[in-house]
Structure 1
Amino acid sequence: MKEEDSASKKEQLSSQVQKLEVACVELASLPSGRTVYEKKGNLFFRTDAKMLNTSQQRELKRVKSRMDKL
């Protein structure tokens, strides 16, 4: 049972890593100065692509480290 939970969590984290990697590539392809919206809770906040890309990369590193611990 514990192995199934671990495998399930690893699959979820792997899926999240893929989503974050795609988001980082898409944000990197946007022209500089382009305004994007970041979702925080139920609200969207206007920000620039560079700042959002940096936060997405931080989140990607955090998720990868959690996945390595499993």
Structure 2
Amino acid sequence: MGSLAHVGGLTGAPANAPIAHTAELVRQTRWFRVDTASAWFYEVAWDLAIAALRPGGQDVAPLAATDTD
């Protein structure tokens, strides 16, 4: 849940917050998978590109990763 919480902008939640609280905040985040043909991606094994529209609709957090040999 740590990665989901971070990308979702939930890092201000107490470390000892119940997992159900964090899960609910993650559910309130709008998640988008981005499909791109950008040369930045190597398309070897896997690529990842997502964006999270954080609760409140004012902030967007992107996350992208690629794999190469």
Give the TM-score normalised by the residue count of structure 1: 0.26
Q: Which structure has the higher relative contact order (CA within 8 Å, separation 6+)? A: 1
Higher strand proportion, which one?
Answer: 2
